[in-house]
Amino acid sequence: MRLHSWKGRGRRTLVAAALTTTVVAGTAGWATGSEQSPLIGPPPGAASWRADHELGLGLPDPATASPARVAAFFGGLDAAQRRELVTRHPTVVGNLDGAPVELRYQANIRSLKAERDQARARAEDPSLTAEDHAQARFLVTRYTELLDPGRKILAFDPRGRGQVAEVYGELADAEHVSVIVPGSDIDLSSFDRSADPYGTPAGMARSLYEASGGRTAVVAWVGYTTPVGLGPDAATGRLAEAGAPRLVRFVQGLTASGAPRPSVFCHSYGSVVCGLSAARLPASDLVVLGSPGLRADKVAELRTSARVWAARDDSDWISRVPNVEVFGLGHGTDPTDPSFGARRVPAHRAEGHTGYFAPGTDSLRAFTRIATGVTS
């Protein structure tokens, strides 16, 4: 619970101390996390896009135009004009919420190839250090993997730690759509790692897509700067506050492009992002799993029309984090607590903090029913 109704400074201090002690004890101290600078603002290349008047099209400003406005703009273009924009401004089109899905795929292929070429050049640049060369070689491999035939990259931004969104299934004509929002330690390098696959958004998305028999298209979305480790960033809402508008805009872009309102699955710290987004998020369902809290005391405070669901297995370490919000630390009420008012998702067979999407679990079966609209 929050502490607005608690009285006495001493009691608040004790709870804050308990929260700090729990996080430090569970992570070997604050030093395990490093403070992150959130990536905000329009896509890369926005300045060149704004300055482009040669086509005479009145391009919508990526920073201010709504996804609905973007969708209407592209709806008025012919095929040649669309191709020209992809060629001239792939980094904008590939990340422009509301732009047609297929155009974004094409644009991101261009962007990935360009970044791969630059990384190859850096890997062979004699003026750079051995560490620079190693990082460049890693990026060459990473970008090559993302360019594998059949992969559908809906967003790609190489800035900072890198952000990406990948689609499983056919988003353009899907009857149901789901979006996966990850928690800490996820970025371009780790969103589809082979170790602990069901702890990554790509692994979660792939598992949900396969469990549904393709009845829902699933988007693994890494579109905000996640905390690193379990230090202060993970214990506060700063990065979630920066990520919430990005999630809102992304989901609005899906619906503006013709997709149905999605089920949004929010893991760990990602549920803080979802809680702060809920009032503006055009979602049919909001599903939180392994959540430290949504910065709300009850479902009504989210001000959402979406059905709200919560899952936590008994072996998940998140249960040891105090559900408080005081002095900016903590994220509030446990969403699996009956007092919160969320619908409970069974998770008896899930194991640990990252086992909710593992095949054969009751939680994955429940998620599949939610994602495909079978909730009665």
pLDDT at 212: 97
pLDDT in tens, 195-231: 899 999 999 999 999 999 999 999 999 999 999 987 8
pLDDT in tens, 43-64: 999 999 999 998 888 999 999 9
**Is pLDDT at 171 greater than 80 in this prediction?**
yes
pTM reported for the whole predicted model: 0.91
Q: What is the mean pLDDT of the chain?
A: 90
**Is pLDDT at 28 greater than 80 in this prediction?**
no
pLDDT at 323: 73
Question: Is residue 275 within 8 Å of residue 302, measured between CB atoms?
Answer: yes
Mean pLDDT, rounded, for 253-274: 97
Question: Is residue 250 within 8 Å of residue 99, measured between CB atoms?
Answer: no
pLDDT at 33: 63
Mean pLDDT, rounded, for 137-153: 97
Read off the pLDDT band of 27 (50, 70, 90).
very low
**The tokens of 241 are what?**
């506050």
Give the whole-angstrom CA distance, residue 5 versus residue 174: 46
Give the whole-angstrom CA distance, residue 185 versus residue 168: 22
pLDDT at 327: 54
**Is pLDDT at 24 greater than 60 in this prediction?**
no
pLDDT at 29: 36
Q: What is the DSSP letter of 218?
A: E
Read off the pLDDT band of 279 (50, 70, 90).
very high
Give the whole-angstrom CA distance, residue 324 versus residue 334: 9
Cβ neighbour number for residue 242 with a 10 Å cutoff: 18
- C-alpha pair distances (Å), 281 with each of 154, 228, 329: 19, 25, 25
**Is pLDDT at 94 greater than 50 in this prediction?**
yes
Read off the pLDDT band of 1 (50, 70, 90).
very low
The H or E element spanning position 234 is helix 232-235
Give the whole-angstrom CA distance, residue 107 versus residue 284: 29
Of the candidates 328, 253, 336, which has an alpha carbon nearest to the alpha carbon of residue 293? Answer: 336
Read off the pLDDT band of 96 (50, 70, 90).
very high
pLDDT at 328: 64
CA dihedral 347, 351, 355, 358 (to 10 degrees): -80
